Structure 1
Amino acid sequence: MRATWRWVRSDLRTHRGEALFAVLATAGVIASLLLSAALLGYAADPWQRVFNQSRGGHVWLHGRGGPDGFDPAALAPLASLDEVAAVSGPFRTAAATLETSGTRADVVLRATGTRPPDTARPLLTEGHWLTAGDRPDQIVLERALARTLWAGPGETVTVTLAGRDGPTTRTLYVTGVAETAEPRYRAGGGGGVGWILPGTLDRLAPAVTGQSVGLRLKDPDDTGYAVQRAVTLLGAERVDRVTTWQQAKADAGGDDRLLGQIFAAFGLASLLAASVAVAGAVRARIRGQAGDIAVLKAVGFTPGQVIRGFLLQHLGFAVAGAALATAATLTCGRWIPGSVGEAVALWPGMPGHRAAVAGVPAAAVLLIAAATALAAWRAGRVPPVPAARSAHPAARPLSALGRRALGLRLSPVLVLGWRSAFTAPGRARALGATARLALPIALMTVALVAWSTLGQFRTDPARMGRAAALTVRTEQPPAAPTAPPADPEAVLEAVPGVADAVPGAEFLALVPGQTGTITLRGLGTTGAPYPHTIAEGRAPEGPDEAVAGQGLLDLLGVRVGEWVRMTVEGRPQILHLVGRSIEPDHGGRVVSTTLDTLRDGVPGLRPAFHALVLRPGADPRRVAAAVAAAGREKAEVRGAADPADAPDAPRGVLAALVAVLALIALVELLTLIGTGVRDRVRDLLALRAIGLTPRQIGAAVVTAAALTALAAAVLGTAAGAALGHRLVDAEAAATGLGAGVARLPGAAVLGGLVLAVTVTGALAALAPAVRTARRRLVDSAGETL
């Protein structure tokens, strides 16, 4: 053992540069993986990020105002409860309706000061907070509410409150948009939050107000017990409603399942690619020391001592690199500009933080150890000095194709570069190196496929099941006896920018066995059908025909072509599923038919809304304002929810993943180039001896690296495009959206990736090529033996 340690120390002193590269390469890759894990948690669980960043409340208690509201004497003891860490409020509130550009939404107005509260603090994403300036009637909107109203900083909204003396209407100036960890606004599912100054609330609702108070707990698991104690302390008769962090997280988490699963797959694949790259560098270093190993065997080292020596040495490199990466990421990562630093700063409060910090480096070290053990075992089989020549890869003779290419006066640099890249010293080894380099490139291509797919929500919403950009609900009063009935479709289609107004109705239905609820929609008529996005089968054309989302097919265990039975408002409804549509709403648990089919069971059924299909290039916001101005009845216009509109949309995370994979590919490329130059040094020196100039030798090295990078890039992009298409479709099907949404990047993007990898390979080979071209035969006599 003492001899082994002495050899390890001597080897480290002799090869300081290689040892430093091994440690830094391992540290860089593991640091990139840790940053990637932080970014994945940052993007895949945005609610938790907002909750941690805003010090959100675990429990919100809502009650009435005035003498029937919370007892002021009982509010102070809330902070002294053992389970409570901090209290936010109490805040006076009022239920109201906001309207702008023909779009209306319910809102809970919350009176607060010119400084946001420390606990449950709204996070501004646009504009600024409330100020006591020249504009007294100000409001800050919750992000989902602002997106529904198409309202941003600098615009105005109309607020209406139902008071004792009649409704009160006032115009409010929007100063900002903020995120909150409370349940967000959903159409028909509860109002969002709007923050106003206390003076504004006094002018709007001087008497009719409510109260809300938020509690931040020491332990989230004590939520149920803390709610019981708080309600008992305040008085159960004074508490109208209680919302908890579990409800808010469940409300916000439904739209992120697809992203979370894709990111988890990316994380595992990136870990594998990083381990393969670092393990390849370890194997290359061991191969490069074949001559030293032969000498060790000659002086008496046993194969076991050689194996132990390499294992100890390279495990030390891996552990040192992992420790350096972990320490650097946790201490300095928060200072990185942009979302990366913010993600690292918030990471300790995210679920799975400790597991990721311990698991990512440990998994990388274990995979590196496994690869090192295999390479060390091969090192133990290296023969001693008499067979030293076999330790060097034997050069293959020039193939017939190469000789023919030279006979055709093709550039010898190109011929020798091709031979170096794919035939010498071993075809299997060259193919293996190309495959290892192609792995991170394939994952980069998968990331680009995910990027392109998410971009369809903006560029091609019809393909993502969003053919209708707007939904209009009208309050139609009874027509006068002498007035002809109005045609709402004709009125809406006359609005500039509207291509089609499709009538529709929506019901909740029970599945067979009454164990689950689905959504039944009637859209369009037999003569004017709705343009469903059909991924399988066809659109409904005849009576009792329908299309369903993937979530409904999975729930009922049926396929396209079968009949399904459901219960709608106490009556049975039997439909023939003739197709599968892309359904981004309600987890895909939607079945859609025509209004004519629903009218067979409900005579006189009137449309509850109209889905507006816009003309290409039409602005939904302007069309909504035009619809509100053109309609004779009160119209409520709502836009389709667009996951890509969220500021935490994962494009930045996908870009960071591409950067991580690019670093992994660079490590593999540098290893491949260094190994190739070392393995072919005898061939290059022989070429120097028969008359090739140093410039030609350097050009051959660069050409070999560029050709290898080109082959890996073509292989990686082709495999990544196929894999990404299947992966995105599989994850979309698992989340209920349905397969058929994946979109490949454009040819220009894939071609640019191939070109970038090829150029990077050529540039990375410049320095080794210059060193090789400057070598003299007398400096490398030992390598030619």
Structure 2
Amino acid sequence: MRATLRWAHSDLRTHRGEALFLVLATAGIVVSLLLATALFGYATNPWQRVFTQARGAHVWLHTAPSADTGKLTGLDGVESVTGPYPTASATLASRGARAAVELRGTPEEPSVGRPLLTSGHWLDPANPDGVVLESRLARALLAAPGDTLTLPGTDRTVTVLGVADSAEKRYRPGEQPGLVWAQPSAVGEPRGRVVALRLTDPEDTDYAVQRAVTVLGSGAVSEVSTWKQARAEAQGDNRLLGQVLGLFGLGALVAAGLAVHGAIGTRIRGHLRDISVLKAIGFTPGQVVRVFLIQHLAYALLGALAAAAVVQGLGSRIPGRLGDAVGVWHGLPGHTVALLVVPVAVVLFIGATTGLAAWRAGRVPPVPVPRRAASPGGRLSGAARSALGLRLPPALVLGWHRAFSRRLRSPATVARLALPLLLIVVAMSAWTTIDRFDGRPEQVGLPTSLTVHADSGLTDRAARTVLEDDPQVAAAYPGVEVAALVPGQTATIALRGLGTRQDPYPYSLAEGRAATGRDEAVAGQGLLALLDARVGDWVRITVGDQPQVLHIVGRSIEPENAGRVISTSLDTLRENDPGLGPTLYELRLRPGADPDAVADRLTAAGEGHLDVHAVPNPADGLSPLRGVIVGLIVVLALIGLIELLTAIGGTVREGERDLLALKAIGLSPRQITAITVVSTGCTALVAAILATGLGVPLAHWLIDAQGASSGIGSGIAAGPSAWLLLLLGAAAVAGATALAALPASRAARRRLADTLSAVA
């Protein structure tokens, strides 16, 4: 045991930098995986908690006032029915903020889908103007119990009695109205009703919806929402962040395992004589393997423990969403198990790769075998000899030859170094894609900056006059958006009519062409996936009891409504309903315009008849991803440094046997040093080229696959600029040559006696 510890201590002193990088890289990998676990728990648990405590409904049906919802009670698979409740659309205003809402007449707390009060109290029959707000809506209106809200365009006011969490779809400005529970008398003349279904088997949701719509009649159902849609929306960007962290964490773990494997393999080749001596004095093969295994397991364990301690003690103090996620995760039931399992799994993986490499040390014979004077493949190739004949610098030719004359070891070294560089290219592509959403939103389905809803007190002509008179409004596209049922009546989608044939809406198309003719439309990826349709197909959707048949001629990038959107021109919708008028306007602003300032001016000019919202940008919820990407690049750079140190050590040791020959032919120590530096630089150069060539298409595929799965659609990926990729490659080559200079210089100036003993 004393000899084992001495060997480990000696090896640690020789490779301090490598050991430090391994500890830091392991810590970074464990932190990444733990944060990913926290984000997954944070994304799912809050909504799941509310859904469970509220006995959440699996299906919500918005119906016409005349629909006979009593028929739903006897449907197979329906456990209970709550409602119907009368509903009406309205707008609430408070402290300068406005929000579109759904007033829902709820005299008693529902038995299914019960709101969970977070402050205040439930509705009081003695206060007919009292309301309870959904929590996200309350935050948007800056409202709390006791506040008075106004309904613009009317003389009515309501008083906030309470704020509650709900498992239904949450308020999103310009997309999803906020939920307001009120007394039926406060709803006024209802325009519809809503009924909630709780199912015996939640996985049969689609079938239950289809049967419910069939029983009520397709013309009686205007909108359907399910628990799966609400859950996916609640998870939102948190789940995406968790996926990114998990993907890069696993990739970094594989890269670290390969780096450790290569480091041990190189070290064994450099210490064959020492290992033979250890066996000659009585070390068994198992003891030799344990020397390497215990040493690297200690490094990994140290890094894993440090990472677990940091996440447990300081994780909740990370600013923003990551800190909130860790804080919530600390209170979840599986927190302790995950905090133990993730570090242990990382240590075991590194231990497995270490053991595989260390097993070769146990096979070293106890009698040293003299090494050949030249490594396999060491004879100069015809190209190298021709290059020397052209009087190219010997250091350049011999360095290139040394880098790629070691048969299997050279490609393995290049591959291990290329993997962290490839992951860095993928991370840079993710950053560039977020920048594309921020800087060039018109290319990713966001050609407009503001959405304006006009109430009935303002005509179309008057509304357009107010909008187009603003000097910073470049174009105002009239439109309408209605809920529609898909074929089979199992889900609700958004049907939009935007722009006219004379002034078409500038959709961002990823496939096909723009909708310019009659009955032509473009659809989002989410809708195509839902209907199992493709560009060129005809689809039949239902708005109330009115069918609409449209020809899909293009696929648009749709960041809203999970891509479940089909869009055509307002003229096409008017052909079925001549009396249809625009209810919203999409505004494209001039370059450099401030959306907030324009929104304030339009709100004032509309005199209470215009509701102006900024178009939501998915990149707004991905701002924490920038910090994550920076941290991941640092971890991957540490892994790359480990592999570079390994490659440099192997190159220096391989060069020791050639040192006498190089000096004999007249090369100076500086030229001999340059051979090692050039060899390392060439390895890094090829790895950088390989990482760039594979990383850019891989990043596009991963980002587009994520876009397609989220409904936005493929075609959103943006790769780093050529200059940025060139800078990454130059940094890798410059770093490799700089790290190789000092050990190569020391090796080139070794005494001849030392060299003879090394190659003996």
| TM-score of the alignment, normalized to the shorter chain, above 0.5 | yes
Partner of 1:574: 549
1:15 aligns with 2:4: no
Change (3 A) 1:597 1:162: closer
Deviation (angstroms), 1:300 = 8.4
Contact 1:43 1:653 in 2 (8 A): no
Q: Which amino acid aligns with 1:543?
A: R
TM-fit CA distance, 1:722: 1.2
Match of 1:318 in 2: 296
Match of 2:272 among 290, 293, 300: 290
Contact persistence 2:467–2:602 (CA under 8 A) = yes
Matched, 1:280 2:262: yes
1:440 alignment counterpart = 420
In structure 1, distance between residues paired with 2:686 and 2:138: 50
Q: Distance in 1 between matches of 2:628 and 2:559?
A: 22
Paired residues of 2:417 and 2:644 also in contact (CA < 8 A): yes
Q: Deviations over 1:15-47 (max 9, x none)?
A: 343576675454322211012224435667766
Contact 1:474-1:609 within 8 A present in 2 as well: yes
The 8 Å contact of residues 496 and 626 in structure 1, kept in 2 or not, is answered as no
The AA in structure 1 aligned to 2:714 is: A
Provide the residue aligned with 1:714 in structure 2: 689
Q: Does the Cα contact within 8 Å between 1:40 and 1:653 map onto a contact in 2?
A: no
Matched residue, 1:231: none
Q: Deviation at 1:749? A: 1.3
Q: Does 1:544 align with 2:519?
A: yes
Aligned to 2:150: 161
Long gaps (5+) in structure 1: 62-94, 109-118, 122-140, 152-157, 171-178, 194-207, 209-244, 480-484
| Among 716, 732, 735, the residue aligned to 2:710 | 735
Asked if the contact 2:12–2:19 (Cα under 8 Å) also holds between the matched residues in 1, the reply is no
Contact 1:57 1:120 in 2 (8 A): no
**How has the CA–CA distance of structure 1 residues 33 and 254 changed in structure 2, closer, same or farther, with 3 Å as cutoff?**
same
CA separation of 1:343 and 1:31: change in aligned 2, threshold 3 A: farther
Aligned mate of 1:663, from 621, 635, 638? 638
1:34 aligns to 2:30 (yes or no): yes
What's the Cα RMSD here?
Answer: 4.1
Tell me whether 1:328 sits opposite 2:306 in the alignment: yes
- Alpha carbons 1:537, 1:579 under 8 Å: kept: yes
Give the alignment of 1:518-557 within 5 angstroms.
Answer: 518-557=493-532
Unaligned segments of structure 2, at least 5 residues? 56-90, 104-116, 120-133, 160-164, 181-185, 187-226
Name the counterpart of 1:781.
756
TM-score scaled by structure 2? 0.74
Give me the TM-score of the superposition, normalised by structure 1: 0.72
1:457 to 425, 430, 437: 437
Q: Give deviations 1:291-346, integer Å, cap 9, x for gaps.
A: 33445677788xxx42x234322331233223212222233454699659958974
Question: For structure 1, which segment, 528-537 or 28-37, has the greater mean C-alpha deviation from structure 2 after superposition?
Answer: 28-37
Change (3 A) 1:456 1:142: farther
Query: Which of 166, 169, 172 is equivalent to 1:186?
Result: 172
Q: 1:364: how far off? A: 3.7
Matched residue, 1:725: 700
Match of 2:93 among 90, 97, 101: 97
- Report the residue type matching 2:287 in the other structure: G
| 1:171-223 deviation per Cα after TM superposition (whole angstroms, max 9, x unaligned) | xxxxxxxx999996423645599xxxxxxxxxxxxxx9xxxxxxxxxxxxxxx
Q: Do structure 1's residue 263 and structure 2's residue 245 form an aligned pair?
A: yes
**CA positional deviation for 1:643:** 2.7
Deviation at 1:729, TM superposition (A): 0.5
Maintained 8 Å contact 1:509/1:569? yes
Note closer, same or farther for the CA distance 1:697–1:107 as it changes in structure 2 (3 Å cut).
Answer: farther
Cα displacement string for residues 432-457 of structure 1 (whole angstroms, at most 9, x for unaligned residues):
10111000000000011111111122
Deviation per residue, 1:699-746 (Å, 9 max, x gap): 322222222212211211221111101110111111111000000111
| Contact 1:262–1:728 under 8 Å retained in 2 | no
Paired with 2:731 and 2:178, the residues of 1 have a C-alpha distance of 49
Deviation, 1:50, is 9.8
Amino acid at match of 2:743: P
**Per-residue deviation at 1:349?**
4.3
- CA 1:162–1:25 in 2, change beyond 3 Å: closer, same or farther? closer
Deviations 1:104-163 (A, max 9, x none): 56799xxxxxxxxxx989xxxxxxxxxxxxxxxxxxx999988x79x9xxxxxx984369
Distance 1:459 1:298, change over 3 A: same
Superposed counterparts of 1:273-422, under 5 Å: 273-295=255-277, 305-306=284-285, 308-332=286-310, 334=313, 339=319, 342=323, 346=327, 348-349=330-331, 353-354=335-336, 356-379=338-361, 381-382=363-364, 385=367, 387-390=369-372, 393-394=375-376, 396-422=378-404
Q: 1:644-663 alignment to 2 at 5 Å?
A: 644-646=619-621, 648-663=623-638
| CA spacing shift, 1:257–1:517, aligned 2, 3 Å | farther
Q: Give the total of aligned pairs.
A: 638
SS of equivalent to 1:389: coil
> Which residue among 596, 617, 636 is the counterpart of 2:571?
596
What does residue 451 of structure 2 align with?
471
Alignment of structure 1 residues 623-772 onto 2, 5 Å: 623-631=598-606, 634-646=609-621, 648-772=623-747
Cα distance in 2, alignment partners of residues 568 and 329 from structure 1: 54
Q: What is the alpha-carbon distance in structure 1 between the residues aligned to residue 10 and residue 456 of structure 2?
A: 88
Evaluate the alpha carbon distance shift between residue 609 and residue 342 of structure 1 in structure 2; reply closer, same or farther with a 3 A threshold: closer
CA deviations on 1:481-506 (whole Å, 9 max, x unpaired) are xxxx8354454233212222111111
Rounded to whole Å, the distance in 2 between the matches of 1:622 and 1:404 is 70
Counterpart of 2:378 in 1: which secondary structure?
coil
In 1, Cα distance between equivalents of 2:591 and 2:645: 49
SS at 2:416 equivalent: helix
Change (3 A) 1:591 1:105: closer
Letter in 1 for 2:150: L
Residue identity opposite 1:434 in structure 2:
V
**Residues in 1 aligned to 2:738 and 2:118: alpha-carbon distance in whole angstroms:** 52
Give me the whole-angstrom Cα distance separating, in 1, the residues matched to 2:730 and 2:136: 41
1:507 aligns with 2:482: yes
- Please give the alpha-carbon distance, in whole angstroms, between the structure 2 residues aligned to 1:254 and 1:614: 28
Maintained 8 Å contact 1:273/1:440: yes
Q: 1:353–1:772: structure 2 CA closer, same or farther, 3 Å change rule?
A: farther
Does the 8 Å CA contact 2:137/2:178 hold for their aligned counterparts? no
Query: In structure 2, what residue type is equivalent to 1:658?
Result: I
Query: CA shift at 1:459, angstroms?
Result: 0.5
Q: 2: CA distance between counterparts of 1:780 and 1:300? A: 28
Deviations for 1:657-688, whole angstroms, at most 9, x for unmatched residues? 11111111111111111111112211134313
1:7 & 1:770 partners in 2: Cα distance? 32
In structure 2, the residue matched to 1:431 is: 411
How far apart in 1 are the matches of 2:136 and 2:670?
A: 62
Distance 2:497 2:333 in 1: 41
Partners of 1:143 and 1:778 in 2: CA distance = 78
What percentage of residue pairs aligned between the two structures are identical?
Answer: 45
Q: For 1:566, what is the secondary structure of its paired residue?
A: strand
Residue 775 of structure 1 and its aligned partner are, at CA, apart by: 1.1
